[in-house]
Structure 1
Amino acid sequence: MFAIEVAGLTKIYGKGETMVTAISDATFQVKPGELVAILGPSGSGKTTLLTSIGLINEPTRGKVVIDGTVVADEGWRPGLDLKRIRREKLGFIFQAHNLIPFLTAMENVMVALEINHLPRSEARERAEELLTTLNLGHRLNNYPSALSGGEAQRVAIARALANRPKVILADEPTAALDTGNGKNVMTLLKKLAVENHSAILVVTHDHRMVEGFDRIFHVSDGRIAGEKNNLEVTGNHELG
């Protein structure tokens, strides 16, 4: 079974002369354990695609299936608790780490667990385990202002993993990092995809960050222009 299935996904904004097609007829699948990139320049529709899969932006047409649950079929499926599905099946990583500034690293991860009604003692144990695994055991009680950019992004990754989601969606997760830290984050995501058997879908404009990805899709003007292998992308700098 696929963790993500997208068929004919289309998102249109506006009507008449103001109508804009942000994504047109996107179709692809991602298996559990795969790290897949959606690669394309700014304004190509990458984020719209990600937020439609992430149950934030309702598709105009097409079908979206998350971990076997049909969530959209010509619009959201009636009667579904989209918030619950987001909490239980999806993890999000963004360009900005979006950590809560007055909470420690551990508390930032615990929040995601407590929202899902995990007892505080168990949430603390899970948060400490995750942060230690991500080499942040010495930063548990530090506030975001005391963390480096790479450390803050790893806390954000721990938060995304907290509820053991089947799908992790990452929107330009390395854009605020230097090249070295960016590549470290992508290597970490690959490791986590395999170890947790999660499907990880990353949108990025930077071809340098997709080394080691299982599959890479190129988006141009709202359309998936085709799948490329890693060598074709990292050896060709046409995307700049």
Structure 2
Amino acid sequence: MYAIEVEKLTKIYGKGETAVTAISDANFQVKPGELVAFLGPSGSGKTTILTCIGLINEPTRGKVVIDGTTVADSGWQNGIDLKRMRREKLGFIFQAHNLIPFLTAVENVMVALQINGVGRKEAQKRSAELLDALNLGHRLNNYPSALSGGESQRVAIARALANKPKVILADEPTAALDTENGKNVMALLKLLAVENHSAILVVTHDHRMVEGFDRIFQVSDGRIIGEHKNGDI
């Protein structure tokens, strides 16, 4: 079973003469354990792909299947609890780490678990283990203001992983980092994809950051214009 299946995904904003096609007829599948990039310039449509898969933007046309469940087929499917799907199946990592400033590192991760009904003691234990695995065991009780950019992004990654999602969506996760920290984050995502058997989709405009990816989709003017395997781009 694929973690993600997308067929003829199309998103159009507006109507009539003012209509803008952000993405047109996108087709792809992603297996569990794969790290896939959508590479293209700003405004090419790659973030729209991510928001449609992330159940944030309703597709105009096309089909989206997540972990075997059809969530969209020319619009959202009736009976699908989008909020629950997002909580249980998806993890999100953004360019800005979006940590809550008045919570410590471990508390920022705990929030994701407690929203899903995990008790405080278990949430704290699991969050501490995740942060320790990301080499942040010494930073559990630090607030975001005391963390470096790379450390803050690793806390955000831990938060995205907290509920063991089938799919992780990362929108320019290294844009605010220097090259070394950016490559470290991408290498970490690759490791986590394999270890957690999660499908990880990364949107980026930076060719330097896709080294080691399983597949790379090139996006331009709302269309996927090419697919490359690692080392071919």
State the TM-score, normalizing by the size of structure 2. Answer: 0.99
Distance in 2 of aligned mates of 1:7 and 1:229: 20
The superposition leaves residues 183-227 of structure 1 with CA deviations (integer Å, 9 ceiling, x where unpaired) of 000000000000000000001000000000000000000000010
Cross-structure match for 2:190: 190
Residue 165 of structure 1 deviates from its aligned partner by 0.2
Cross-structure match for 1:236: none
Percent sequence identity is 84
SS at match of 2:232: helix
Structure 2 counterpart of 1:122, one-letter code:
E
Distance in 1 of aligned mates of 2:221 and 2:2: 26
Residue 166 of structure 1 deviates from its aligned partner by 0.4
> 2:39 matched to 1:39?
yes
Cross-structure match for 1:65: 65
Distance in 1 of aligned mates of 2:113 and 2:136: 18
Farther off after superposition, 222-231 or 59-68: 222-231
Distance in 1 of aligned mates of 2:209 and 2:226: 19
Cross-structure match for 2:74: 74
Distance in 1 of aligned mates of 2:47 and 2:38: 9
Structure 2 counterpart of 1:212, one-letter code:
G
**Residue segments in structure 2 that go unaligned for 5+ positions in a row:** none
**Residue segments in structure 1 that go unaligned for 5+ positions in a row:** 234-240
The superposition leaves residues 21-48 of structure 1 with CA deviations (integer Å, 9 ceiling, x where unpaired) of 0000000000000000000000001111
Distance in 2 of aligned mates of 1:229 and 1:116: 36
> 2:204 matched to 1:178?
no
Distance in 2 of aligned mates of 1:35 and 1:68: 19
Distance in 2 of aligned mates of 1:163 and 1:47: 23
Cross-structure match for 1:215: 215
Cross-structure match for 1:22: 22
Distance in 2 of aligned mates of 1:229 and 1:67: 23
SS at match of 2:190: helix
Aligned residues: 233
> Aligned-pair RMSD on alpha carbons?
0.5
Residue 17 of structure 1 deviates from its aligned partner by 1.3
Cross-structure match for 1:4: 4
Structure 2 counterpart of 1:151, one-letter code:
E
Structure 1 counterpart of 2:42, one-letter code:
S
Cross-structure match for 1:147: 147
SS at match of 1:160: helix
Structure 1 counterpart of 2:30, one-letter code:
V
Structure 2 counterpart of 1:7, one-letter code:
E
Q: Within 5 A, what are the aligned runs for 1:100-179? A: 100-179=100-179
Distance in 2 of aligned mates of 1:179 and 1:148: 14
SS at match of 1:231: coil
The superposition leaves residues 56-79 of structure 1 with CA deviations (integer Å, 9 ceiling, x where unpaired) of 000000000000010000100011
Structure 1 counterpart of 2:204, one-letter code:
T
State the TM-score, normalizing by the size of structure 1. Answer: 0.96
Cross-structure match for 1:237: none
Distance in 1 of aligned mates of 2:77 and 2:173: 29
Distance in 2 of aligned mates of 1:19 and 1:80: 28
Residue 229 of structure 1 deviates from its aligned partner by 2.5
Distance in 2 of aligned mates of 1:229 and 1:207: 13
